[in-house]
């Protein structure tokens, strides 16, 4: 390999990959710093602040906290005195009840400590979008496509092809506005496919330069879910057009954009729960892959994607599952109502069970991600 080829490889592959991992680590750091910030504000001892799990790679003690980077980059944690959580440090101070303990703080302070990661993830998105609107970001249009990788059974049954662009549903032309497009897709496509509101749908599809009308039969629920998982939204920069605003307008646009994505994320999670389907869901491999792809396009696309993922991370962490922030918030709320602590054995059982389920989900989504990337069914 000559020097020119090596330089191209480094600039096009290696550097974006490094940026991708740094970006992913940044999101973890932002989330955990939210917990850490409120712990310090309320005088709660934090023995460990870790980016990643497992064996430490780098560690430095600052004040009373060991800051570390660990070997397994699937998250992170802040070890909190008086709060026992599975897999989060040595837990030497998990059972203390002194004035620097989580257990001795009022409910409102506990609530802020536990929701700190979520709040900082959302705040990060507000800041990033506002700054980018001020600096100037490429103006984009949103379009609806058949994904580049779909299952053969879907392709054969519905006569669709990867890369087909959907321009109309039931003879209604689709909008390029993100919020309007999502509303149209939900009303015209998702509801009929999941609730059998009609017997068939008409899709107007652009295949290359040719406009094709396709009739979609509404039959088996499982097949319909696979079809839904074959759709994707693509945002395409409009060449030569940029969105750049004065500072206060940029902040307004940043807040508006973040709120829209919050709405979209909540809707997507509601859909996954109500349909009991993981169609279209991605795991760590897909997140890293997408982060790498956006890093190849430049710093601005990378930060746009990180802000989007930050919002998703915030919402997912609010789910009332023991291993997530939402589960710990639920525990604290129950204890505030009943005015006594939940027995440790019950907490432990719920936390371990939820961790097992989350790890299973991560492994399953990783498996699906790898199959999708390898085009292997």
Predicted pLDDT of residue 41: 94
Q: What is the C-alpha to C-alpha distance for residues 128 and 251, in angstroms, rounded to an integer? A: 10
Comparing CA positions, the residue from 72, 69, 75 lying closest to residue 57 is 69
Residue 64 lies in a domain: yes
* Cβ neighbourhood burial of 106 (10 Å; 0-12, 13-18, 19+): exposed
Residue 269 lies in a domain: no
Q: Which of 225, 243, 261 marks a domain boundary?
A: 243
Q: Which of 211, 243, 275 marks a domain boundary?
A: 243
Q: What is the C-alpha to C-alpha distance for residues 116 and 170, in angstroms, rounded to an integer? A: 45
Helical segments of 177-298, H only: 178-185, 191-195, 221-228, 247-275, 284-297
Q: Would you state the structure tokens that stand for residue 279, as one six-digit string?
A: 């169609």
Are 171 and 74 contained in the same domain? no
The dihedral of CA 346, 35, 289, 208: what is its sign? positive
Beta strands in the chain (DSSP E): 48-62, 65-79, 137-146, 165-169, 172-173, 200-207, 210-217, 231-243
Predicted pLDDT of residue 302: 82
Predicted pLDDT of residue 121: 95
What's the total number of domains in the chain? Answer: 2
- Residues sharing a CB contact under 8 Å with residue 321, sequence separation 6 or more, in sequence order: 327, 354, 357, 358
- The three-state secondary structure class of 357 is helix
Q: What is the C-alpha to C-alpha distance for residues 129 and 245, in angstroms, rounded to an integer? A: 12
Comparing CA positions, the residue from 59, 84, 80 lying closest to residue 69 is 59
- The three-state secondary structure class of 22 is helix
Q: Which of 243, 259, 282 marks a domain boundary?
A: 243
Please list the rounded mean pLDDT of every run of 10 residues in the chain (377 residues): 49 67 85 94 91 86 89 82 72 77 91 94 94 84 78 76 83 76 78 69 83 76 72 74 85 90 81 66 66 71 86 88 85 90 81 80 72 57
Beta bridge pairs of residue 142: 235
What's the domain range around 125? 3-132+314-374
Residue 260 lies in a domain: no
- Residues sharing a CB contact under 8 Å with residue 335, sequence separation 6 or more, in sequence order: 341, 342
Predicted pLDDT of residue 2: 54
Whichever domain contains 201, its CATH number is 2.30.42.10
Phi first, then psi, for residue 325 (nearest 5°) are -60, -40
Q: What is the C-alpha to C-alpha distance for residues 235 and 144, in angstroms, rounded to an integer? A: 9
Predicted pLDDT of residue 14: 65
Find the helix packing angle between 247-275 and 107-135, rounded to 10°.
120
Comparing CA positions, the residue from 68, 59, 64 lying closest to residue 81 is 64
Are 49 and 84 contained in the same domain? yes
Are 233 and 322 contained in the same domain? no
Are 195 and 85 contained in the same domain? no
Predicted pLDDT of residue 13: 59
Residue 265 lies in a domain: no
Residue 145 lies in a domain: yes
Are 87 and 176 contained in the same domain? no
Quote the pTM value.
0.71
Are 29 and 110 contained in the same domain? yes
Are 124 and 172 contained in the same domain? no
Are 22 and 106 contained in the same domain? yes
Q: What is the C-alpha to C-alpha distance for residues 310 and 154, in angstroms, rounded to an integer? A: 32
- In tens, the pLDDT along 111-121 reads 999 999 999 99
Are 71 and 153 contained in the same domain? no
Predicted pLDDT of residue 85: 73
- In tens, the pLDDT along 170-224 reads 888 887 776 677 778 777 777 777 776 557 778 888 888 888 888 877 766 666 7
């Amino acid at each position: 390999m000559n020097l020119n080829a090596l330089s191209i490889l480094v600039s096009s592959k290696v550097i974006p990959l490094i940026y991708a991992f740094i970006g992913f680590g940044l999101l973890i750091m932002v989330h955990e710093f939210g917990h850490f910030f409120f712990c310090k504000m309320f005088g709660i001892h934090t023995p460990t602040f870790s980016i990643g799990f497992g064996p430490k790679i780098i560690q430095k003690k600052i004040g009373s906290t060991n800051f570390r980077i660990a070997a397994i980059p699937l998250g992170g944690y802040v070890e909190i005195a008086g709060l026992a959580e599975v897999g989060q440090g040595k837990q030497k101070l998990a059972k203390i009840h002194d004035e620097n303990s989580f257990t001795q703080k009022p409910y409102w302070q506990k609530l802020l400590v536990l929701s700190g990661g979520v709040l900082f993830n959302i705040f990060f998105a507000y800041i990033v979008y506002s700054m980018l609107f001020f600096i100037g970001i490429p103006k984009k249009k949103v379009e609806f496509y058949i994904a580049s990788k779909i299952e053969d059974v879907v392709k054969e049954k519905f006569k669709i092809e990867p890369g087909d662009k959907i321009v109309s549903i039931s003879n209604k032309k689709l909008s390029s506005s993100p919020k309007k497009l999502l509303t149209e897709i939900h009303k015209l496509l998702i509801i009929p496919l999941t609730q059998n509101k009609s017997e068939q749908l008409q899709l107007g599809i652009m295949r290359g330069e040719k406009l094709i009308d396709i009739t979609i039969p509404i039959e088996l629920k499982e097949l319909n879910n696979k079809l839904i998982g074959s759709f994707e939204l693509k945002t395409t920069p409009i060449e030569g057009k940029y969105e750049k605003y004065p500072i206060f307008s940029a902040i307004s646009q940043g807040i508006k954009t973040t709120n829209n994505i919050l709405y979209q994320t909540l809707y997507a999670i509601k859909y996954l729960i109500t349909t009991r389907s993981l169609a279209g869901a991605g795991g760590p491999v897909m997140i890293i892959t997408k982060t790498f792809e956006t890093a190849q396009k430049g710093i601005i696309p990378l930060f746009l994607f990180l802000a989007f993922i930050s919002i998703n991370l915030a919402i997912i962490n609010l789910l009332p599952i023991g291993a997530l922030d939402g589960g710990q918030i639920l525990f604290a709320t129950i204890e505030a109502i009943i005015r006594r602590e939940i027995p440790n054995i019950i907490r432990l059982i719920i936390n371990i069970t939820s961790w097992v389920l989350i790890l299973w989900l991560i492994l399953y989504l990783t498996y699906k991600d790898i199959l999708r990337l390898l085009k292997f069914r």
